[in-house]
Amino acid sequence: MIKKVTETRSVEVVEDIVCDQCGKTTRTDGIIEELRSFEYATLSFSGGYSSNYDGLKFELQLCQDCAITIFKNRVRDSDEPELPTKHGTYSWGHIGF
């Protein structure tokens, strides 16, 4: 026997992800709402044990343009595919700090 019930539930939905560097939206609207997506990079850092930042966690979201601007000078050559952008083409490779 299948028992059914009609109910209303509240769910948390991500409306937008805003770049922490420039404040621009990262939302790309699809033809229908189900195709909505976000184009962003997340940069996170956790302080190491016994460091000045022990136990602290930092996280920020960057739009693609800001991510390229921040990372482009730290990218090494690699066999990874190149990333075309409106500012040129960059190879992500391995990011070193």
Domain spans of the chain? Answer: 27-91
Res 8 pLDDT > 90: yes
* DSSP per-residue codes, 49-80: TTSTTTT-EEEEEEEHHHHHHHHGGGBPP-SS
Burial class (CB in 10 A: 0-12, 13-18, 19+), 56: exposed
**What is the pTM (predicted TM-score) of this model?**
0.59
- Residues 82 and 2: their CA atoms lie apart, in Å, by 53
Summarised one tens digit per residue, pLDDT across range 12-56 is 888 888 999 999 998 877 666 666 678 888 888 888 888 888 888
Summarised one tens digit per residue, pLDDT across range 72-95 is 777 665 555 555 555 554 444 444
Can you give the pLDDT at residue 40? 87
pLDDT band at 2 (very low <50, low <70, confident <90, very high): confident
Can you give the pLDDT at residue 20? 93
